[in-house]
Amino acid sequence: MTALAPPGIRFHHGSLVIPAGAVHTTPLGYDRDSVPVGAPLPLAASAELVHRLSGCGEIVVAFEGKLGDTLLALSGVSAVLDWLRLRSVRVSLRAAGPYAGLIARTGLLTQPQATTPNGWRVVIGDRTGIEAHGSEAAVSLVLDPAAPPCWSSDGRAHPDLPARHYLALERRLGIRLPGTAPFAPTVATGPNELVEELRSVGWLGGLTIAATSWPERKDYTAQRYIAFAEHVAEAQQAQARLLLIGGKPGDSLRIMAEAPRRHVQALHIDGMPADHLAVLFPHCHLIVGNDTGLTHLAAMARGGREGGGPPVIGLYARHSHSKWRTGQPHHHAVATNLSDRMHQGDLCPVRDAIAPDTDVHMDAFPPAMLAQVGRDLLNEVGR
């Protein structure tokens, strides 16, 4: 990577393996690579959890909180389902809540199911989802992003949340599960009328860049994204289409085009449902965004040629750039020194009430520097 970042800003490639000694970690307690899949771990399993899951007949996946927390926690659902398959326990599976359609796209709920629920009910989700759907459950598994530590095993750190959730449940269930890094499930694409309409009017032709943002928090601003796209397009000697994607789930869909610029034509897309965006993102060549759910979704959405996805650049000003990523090798980070320190110490400025020593905002990332990162990643894909 040839990008020259200003002082205090670093690029972190998604394929980089982080040594256990470089960051604050909790030892997993066993050499994972040396334990065969399905073999007992050299740790005591949670006897009550194993007992309840062994007798369950129905699993409800219920998330109702933040999109990003939900996506990064789905590996925990995957761990439970992997354990049930190894134990040959058949259950009835369903998703509930606002993300049910999106969860269905991950393929997590397609394993052979019991025809009729016959046993206990288990609910897996966030606290809000379990409060809504867990009143009659024999056990509720809360997948809280603040709970699992940064694990280390085989000399390697596993800092991303999907790895944390999966390995935490592997330890509690007491057998080596089949999952390997990256632990985050992917979100499959499919036909979508709105995406096809965008394609028919030329918005998905040529160099297509998507930018994700949540205007109320961590906003990089449309102006900076347009400047970023201008630099990329000029270097690529192309006319770019920039999709400015924002809005909260539940907002009404709004699409508005800006007047064309020299190298960029921008289209604002606000309030587009997440399952529609999962289809749209793989049609892009490059995606950049703040560290919120839309950016995580972009990294997990897979489609197009050979099921691949475009490079995704997350912008991290305050939170750990390694924890709040999907672990996918094409999900990269540009981060401040504060974000690096949160990463190294496995800290959270909110959970641990760490006030920044300086005012750190999204304007720490100059568009020209980000564009150099984007150009290098596009060239990397093209090789």
- Tens of pLDDT, residue by residue over 78-92, are 999 999 999 999 899
Best CA proximity match to 54, nearest among 84, 95, 30: 84
pLDDT at 116: 64
Q: Which residues pair with 152 in a beta bridge?
A: 27, 157
Radius of gyration for the chain, computed over Cα atoms and rounded to the nearest angstrom:
21
Residue with the bigger pLDDT between 365 and 113: it is 365
Task: Reply yes or no on whether the pLDDT at 306 is more than 70.
Answer: no
pLDDT at 219: 85
Tell me the C-alpha distance between 234 and 240, whole Å. Answer: 9
Task: Reply yes or no on whether the pLDDT at 94 is more than 50.
Answer: yes
Tell me the C-alpha distance between 151 and 27, whole Å. Answer: 6
Region of residue 312 (left: phi > 0; alpha: psi -120 to 50; beta: else): beta
pLDDT at 205: 85
* pLDDT tens per residue across span 151-186: 999 999 999 999 999 999 999 999 999 999 999 999
209 and 286 in contact (C-beta within 8 Å)? yes
pLDDT at 2: 41
Assessment of whether the complete model's pTM goes beyond 0.85: yes
Tell me the C-alpha distance between 41 and 172, whole Å. Answer: 10
Exposed, middle or buried by CB within 10 Å (0-12, 13-18, 19+), for 177? buried
Name residue, tokens 């300086």. Answer: 358
* pLDDT tens per residue across span 6-52: 788 999 999 999 999 999 999 999 999 999 999 999 999 999 999 99
Instruction: Tell me the CA distances in angstroms from 76 to 1, 73, 139, one per residue in order.
Output: 33, 6, 15
Across the range 194-210, mean pLDDT stands at: 91
Task: Reply yes or no on whether the pLDDT at 289 is more than 60.
Answer: yes
Task: Reply yes or no on whether the pLDDT at 307 is more than 60.
Answer: no
Task: Reply yes or no on whether the pLDDT at 355 is more than 90.
Answer: no
Mean pLDDT of the chain: 91
Best CA proximity match to 164, nearest among 302, 340, 362, 348: 348
For the chain, what percent of residues have pLDDT higher than 70?
92
Across the range 354-367, mean pLDDT stands at: 83
Residue with the bigger pLDDT between 149 and 195: it is 149
Q: How confident is the model at residue 356 (pLDDT cuts 50, 70, 90)?
A: confident
pLDDT at 246: 86
HEC-encoded secondary structure of the chain: CCCCCCCCEEEECCCCCCEHHHCCCEECCCCHHHCCCCCECCCCCCHHHHHHHHCEEEEEEECCCCHHHHHHHHHHHHHHHHHHHHCCCCCEEEEECCCHHHHHCCCHHHCCCCCCCCCEEEEEECHHHHHHHCCCCCEEEECCCCCCCCEEECCEEECCHHHHHHHHHHHHHCECCCCCCCCCCCEECCCCHHHHHHHHCCCCCCEEEEEECECCECCCCHHHHHHHHHHHHHHHCCCEEEEEEECCCCCCCEEEECCCCCCEEEEEEECCCHHHHHHHHHHCCEEEEECCHHHHHHHHEECCHHHCCCCEEEEECCCCCCCCCCCCCCEEEEEEHHHHHHHHHCCCCCCCCCCCCCCCCHHHCCHHHHHHHHHHHHHHHHC
Sign of the torsion angle spanned by Cα atoms 78, 84, 86, 89: negative
Tell me the C-alpha distance between 222 and 257, whole Å. Answer: 12
* pLDDT tens per residue across span 322-352: 999 999 999 999 999 999 999 999 999 988 9
Q: Tell me the CB-side half-sphere exposure of residue 264, using CA atoms within 13 A.
A: 25
Q: How confident is the model at residue 132 (pLDDT cuts 50, 70, 90)?
A: very high
* pLDDT tens per residue across span 218-273: 789 999 999 999 999 999 999 999 999 987 655 688 999 998 898 999 999 998 88
Within 10 angstroms of residue 256's Cβ, the number of other Cβ atoms is: 10
Structural domains of the chain ordered from first start:
9-15+191-382 (3.40.50.2000), 31-185 (no CATH)
73 and 184 in contact (C-beta within 8 Å)? no
* pLDDT tens per residue across span 135-153: 889 999 999 999 999 999 9
Best CA proximity match to 284, nearest among 229, 219, 364, 227: 229
pLDDT at 65: 94
Task: Reply yes or no on whether the pLDDT at 1 is more than 50.
Answer: no
pLDDT at 124: 98
Lowest mean pLDDT among 128-132, 310-314, 349-353: 349-353
Best CA proximity match to 225, nearest among 215, 247, 202: 215
Task: Reply yes or no on whether the pLDDT at 69 is more than 90.
Answer: yes
Task: Reply yes or no on whether the pLDDT at 304 is more than 50.
Answer: no
